[in-house]
Structure 1
Amino acid sequence: MKNLLQNVLLLLPLLLILSCSSSDLSMKVVSFNIRYDNPEDGVNRWEARIPVVKSYLTEQKPDIIGMQEVLHNQVLVLQEILPDYSYVGTGRNDNKTEGEYAPIFYNTNKFKLIDHSQFWLSETPDIPGSKSWDASLTRIVTWAQLEDKNSGHKFYAFNTHFDHRGVEARMESAILMSKKISEIAGDAPVIATGDFNIRKDHPSLGNKLYENLIKSFKENSSLENSAYISKSSGTSEGLTSTGFRPDWESKEGHAIDYVFVNDYFEVESHQVDKIVEGNLFISDHWPIVAKVSLIK
Structure 2
Amino acid sequence: FRANRFALKEANVFWLSDTPDVAGSNQWGGACIRVAAVVVLIDRTDGTSVGICNTHMDHISAVAREKGARLIRQRLPSYGSNLKWVVMGDFNARPGSVPYQALVGAEPGKITLIDTYAALHPKAGPEAGSFHGYTGKIGEGRIDWILASPEFTALAAAINQSKYRGMYPSDHFAAWADLKCTRAHLRQD
TM-score by length of structure 1 reads 0.56
1:196 paired residue number: 91
1:238-277 deviation per Cα after TM superposition (whole angstroms, max 9, x unaligned) = 111110115x2xx465100000001111111101111214
Kindly indicate whether the alpha-carbon contact (under 8 Å) linking 1:181 and 1:221 is maintained by their aligned counterparts in 2: yes
1:171 paired residue number: 66
SS at match of 1:214: helix
1:270 aligns with 2:160: no
Q: 1:157 to 1:183 in 2, by over 3 A?
A: same
1:160 paired residue number: 55
SS at match of 1:180: helix
CA–CA distance in structure 2, aligned partners of residues 252 and 123 of structure 1: 31
CA–CA distance in structure 1, aligned partners of residues 128 and 38 of structure 2: 26
Kindly indicate whether the alpha-carbon contact (under 8 Å) linking 1:116 and 1:143 is maintained by their aligned counterparts in 2: yes
1:9 paired residue number: none
2:40 paired residue number: 145
2:187 paired residue number: none
CA–CA distance in structure 2, aligned partners of residues 281 and 266 of structure 1: 29
1:180 aligns with 2:75: yes
Which structure would you say has the larger Rg?
Answer: 1
SS at match of 2:59: coil
1:243 paired residue number: 133
- Which protein has greater RCO, CA pairs closer than 8 Å, 6+ apart? 1
Task: Give the alignment partner of residue 256 of structure 1, picking from 140, 143, 161.
Answer: 143
Residues 20-59 of structure 1 aligned to structure 2 (within 5 Å): none
Long gaps (5+) in structure 1: 1-105, 201-206
Q: 1:149 to 1:225 in 2, by over 3 A?
A: same
Runs of 4+ in structure 1 deviating by more than 4 angstroms, as ranges, are: none
Kindly indicate whether the alpha-carbon contact (under 8 Å) linking 1:175 and 1:217 is maintained by their aligned counterparts in 2: no
2:111 paired residue number: 221
SS at match of 1:241: coil
1:140-166 deviation per Cα after TM superposition (whole angstroms, max 9, x unaligned) = 000011122233321110110000001
Q: 1:185 to 1:275 in 2, by over 3 A?
A: farther
Task: Decide which structure has greater helix share.
Answer: 1
CA–CA distance in structure 1, aligned partners of residues 139 and 12 of structure 2: 37
AA partner of residue 128 (structure 2): G
